[in-house]
Amino acid sequence: MAAVDSFHLLYREVARSCHNHFEFLAVVGALYTARKGISILYECYSVVRLHVTPHILRRRDLVKQYGAWAVVTGATDIIGRAYAEELASRGLNIILICSNREELHNVSEALAETYGVNTSIIHADFRKGPEAYVSIKEILRDFDVGILVNNARVLYEYPQSIMEIPEDKVWEIINVNVAAAVLMVRIVVPGMAQRKRGAIVNVSPGTGSRHSAHTQIAASKAYLDKFSRQLQCELRSSGIFVQLLTPLCVEDKQEPSAGISQYLPAFVPSSDVYARHAVRTLGISSRTTGYWAHSLQLLAFQWVPVWMCTSIGRVFQY
């Protein structure tokens, strides 16, 4: 009988202990759920504040706020061209920088004819390193540059490991995706700081994944992210606004495809629609996708497993 009583006593102690542990775990679970819920609500509120409020308020005068001229690098690709068009539609004169001379002339003439603004072109190939900036420095010296859009980047057709990438391609990625933004900032910031106004937009297209399928491209994006954050802290007192723009999939309005965009048009906007939304976030958010549906996609990806994010990144790799 003594053994039976001891067993019952031990059972009751174990049951009481387990009950206490379950209560503790329930409290921890409730706190974690509440924290996640509040985080999601805040993210949704941020999306509404950033992407809805600017549409309600009167359109800002960017010329008065930042200056008469905007510089756009990578000006002939989808986002660069559309961003330049949107700025031109708001009355800014545009300086276009790209390595393709013929396309530069075409975009420049189209902007001047359509929007009645002044345009200037600089033919420069950032892949060549320091020599590409000699003419840029000389030409921009005489301009009141109010907005710099760092959109130049190297695209990669398919993912490769670091050892598979040719050495010349490695330098190309470093020179264009990393160094170009830094050196362009060094060229225009002294004038902006002197005038106590200006805006810098660093464009770093995302894939919606937390892990890129391309090591070198992923590293360059991470650098641009950190560079933009630190630059904002450094230049805030000088009246210069810095933004990291991280668009997802955007369709070329001039060459619409028959892919996923025709089934999900809200999530794959045309370049002009995207640029219109992105420019409205200028001066409001220092880090944004620029488009409401892209922000919702990134929010959703926080709940997606890493392996799935990586797989999606391989499909939509820029």
* pLDDT tens-digit readout, 180-197: 999 999 999 999 999 999
Whole-prediction pTM? 0.79
pLDDT value at residue 165: 77
For residues 33 and 2, give the distance between their C-alpha atoms in angstroms, rounded to a whole number.
46
With pLDDT > 70 as the criterion, what percentage of the chain qualifies?
Answer: 69
Element (H, E) at 96: strand 93-98
pLDDT value at residue 47: 59
Residue ranges per domain, the chain? 60-315
pLDDT value at residue 42: 56
Nearest to 300 by CA among 208, 220, 221: 208
For residues 234 and 33, give the distance between their C-alpha atoms in angstroms, rounded to a whole number.
37
Nearest to 67 by CA among 168, 128, 140: 140
Q: Which CATH superfamily is domain 60-315 in?
A: NAD(P)-binding Rossmann-like Domain (3.40.50.720)
For residues 99 and 180, give the distance between their C-alpha atoms in angstroms, rounded to a whole number.
13
Residue 295 clears pLDDT 80, i.e. is over it: yes
pLDDT value at residue 317: 46
- Contact between 239 and 281 (Cβ < 8 Å): no
Higher model confidence: residue 7 or residue 35?
35
Question: pLDDT (tens digit, 9 = 90+) per residue, 54-95?
Answer: 655 567 899 999 999 999 999 999 999 999 999 999 999 999
Sheet holding 198-203, edge to edge: 119-123, 93-98, 69-73, 145-150, 198-203, 240-245, 287-288
